[in-house]
Structure 1
Amino acid sequence: MLINPKSDGHVHTRLCHHATGEMEEYVVAAIDKGLEELIFLEHLECGIRYREATWLSEEDFAAYHGEGQRLQQVYGDRLRIGIGVEVGYNPKQVPAILAFLQRYTWDRVGISFHYYEIDGHHYNVVSRRKGNLEPLGKQGVERVTSDYFATLLEAVELLPGTVLCHLDAVLRHHPEVHFTAAHRHQISEIFQGMRAKGMALEVNTSGFSHRGEQYPVRTLIDEAVALGVPLVAGSDAHRPGEVGRFFDRLW
């Protein structure tokens, strides 16, 4: 198989402030579903000005690592448990991001880009909320999409990432979103950058709930595989029952 369906490499817990469930509940769910590996991938954001925090504080991260180590000791004979981080890239905060990443040992460093800045404020590019979609739409859907891919490429080049998340989820709830030939060229550049750094592409099965297919679409996955980019699976679970969701559809 191109991808290991026994490893869920992307789950969140109540610590990120927009998911539910304790870390141990996710571990138990993974064992119950017959998984061999579970990697927590909690959110890190630096310098984001948004109406709510959808990421962990420094105190949250300390608790996260402590509990993760405890769970590794308790359940390590039944499940490989990884402690990872999903880094939301902010081009203005690279030194702060790198400094924070050096504070801990990570089993996975995922890269994503959630917050787009307009006039000093940030808007969530994967949100369905009108308060995000309207200002982003006014910027121009094609422009925001181009900026999204350019920012992801910069993140791939500058951060010590091991996995790229949410490749084609930008403006996923906006009716006008579409990828131009220029966007596809940007994606190809991202894949080339990933290959040079040995990064994997995440096949995110939450897409089956959002749009009836995984993120990214199969054509982009095929392009990545053709270039030698490895694949990893992630459910992007935000509650314990979502661990390993739709993994039966992986190939």
Structure 2
Amino acid sequence: MRDGHIHTPYCPHGTLDSFRLYIEKAIDLGYKTMTFTEHAPLPESFTDPVPLKDSGMNMADVERYISELKKLQEEYQKNLELLIGFEVDYIAGYEKETERFLNEFGPQLDDSILSVHFIEGNQQWYCIDFSPDMYEAALNDLGGNDALYRAYFKALRKSIKADLGPYKPRRIGHMTLVKKFQDLFAPPEDWEEYAFEVLESIKDSNLQLDYNGAGTQKPHCKETYPPSNIAEQASAMGIPLIYGSDAHKSTGLKQGFDKINTRIVMP
């Protein structure tokens, strides 16, 4: 049992469940490997569009985050493999700041994720998974849901090709996050074509894919990121898939695992 996408008490929009609570729960669930991937601090010059400005952890906490996890690695090394990482946001135009962050802390990391949460509209930036209202605002700004899907998958392709230095994360996070509110805003009919283009880019760049269970718990999504047919296509192309609970609380560990195709995930 491997979980490559787990948040922590350092998440400003999560819970205060301790590292130890996550780890003990993981052991109870039979985990053999777990990666803590807290939301990395956003680039300093980027303005977080969510009301509380809490999409990423505080830069002042990064050293302590890593230090605490290194101590827990040693303490629990006989129980499971504990890996240290971040969920790093790819934000077009902020690549150099992201690279500087990775160059500074990358040598201390074991396993990280590169994700897209933010899309630039004509008027402003939007965090597309924050709320239905913000999603709808992005949709209207860009000129419709098809335009938003195209912008999202274009950003994913740019993240895959971006030069973020030697410590660039090797796994692409929840590649269909744009579908989080799909019951409210129907996806365009040809959205899968955009997704398959992303898979081609992932394969060409020898990256991994986060097979994320969190969407199964979202009331307007109710499926994994990516859904099963996209995940199976990725596997058929030789792309490694790593299950990720995307837990923001200890009870979220293993969420959605019963909905994934366990035959195609890496152990």
Give the alignment's TM-score, normalised by structure 2: 0.85
Alignment counterpart, residue 119 of structure 2, candidates 94, 116, 121 = 116
Q: Distance in 2 between matches of 1:171 and 1:189?
A: 17
The equivalent residue for 2:140 is 138
Q: Distance in 2 between matches of 1:248 and 1:190?
A: 25
The equivalent residue for 1:235 is 245
Cα deviation code 1:6-61 (max 9, x no counterpart): 01111111212011112221111111111101101111222133222221122121
Aligned AA (1:89): Y
SS of 1:92 mapped into structure 2: coil
2:48–2:55 CA contact under 8 A, matched in 1: no
Superposed displacement of residue 119, structure 1: 5.2
1:8–1:233 CA contact under 8 A, matched in 2: yes
The equivalent residue for 2:63 is 62
Matched, 1:10 2:11: no
SS of 1:16 mapped into structure 2: coil
Aligned AA (1:212): K
SS of 1:91 mapped into structure 2: coil
Q: Distance in 2 between matches of 1:122 and 1:171?
A: 18
Matched, 1:168 2:176: yes
Superposed displacement of residue 93, structure 1: 0.5
1:162–1:199 CA contact under 8 A, matched in 2: yes
Matched ranges for 1:184-223 at <5 A: 184-210=192-218, 211-223=221-233
SS of 1:187 mapped into structure 2: helix
Q: Distance in 1 between matches of 2:120 and 2:112?
A: 23
SS of 1:14 mapped into structure 2: coil
Superposed displacement of residue 118, structure 1: 3.3
The equivalent residue for 2:256 is 246
The equivalent residue for 2:158 is 154
Structure 1 residues 207 and 49: alpha-carbon distance in aligned structure 2, compared to 1, 3 A threshold = closer
Matched, 1:48 2:54: no
Give the alignment's TM-score, normalised by structure 1: 0.90
RMSD after superposition: 1.8
> Where do 5+ consecutive residues of structure 1 fail to align?
1-5
Superposed displacement of residue 129, structure 1: 4.2
Moved more, 206-215 or 74-83: 206-215
> Share of identical aligned residues, percent?
25
Superposed displacement of residue 120, structure 1: 6.0
Superposed displacement of residue 196, structure 1: 2.2
Structure 1 residues 246 and 180: alpha-carbon distance in aligned structure 2, compared to 1, 3 A threshold = closer
The higher relative CO (CA closer than 8 Å, separation ≥ 6) is in 1
For these two proteins, the number of residue pairs brought into alignment is 244
The equivalent residue for 1:31 is 27
1:112–1:164 CA contact under 8 A, matched in 2: yes
Superposed displacement of residue 128, structure 1: 2.5
1:205–1:245 CA contact under 8 A, matched in 2: yes
SS of 1:97 mapped into structure 2: helix
2:112–2:171 CA contact under 8 A, matched in 1: yes
Superposed displacement of residue 206, structure 1: 1.2
The equivalent residue for 2:265 is none
Aligned AA (1:91): A
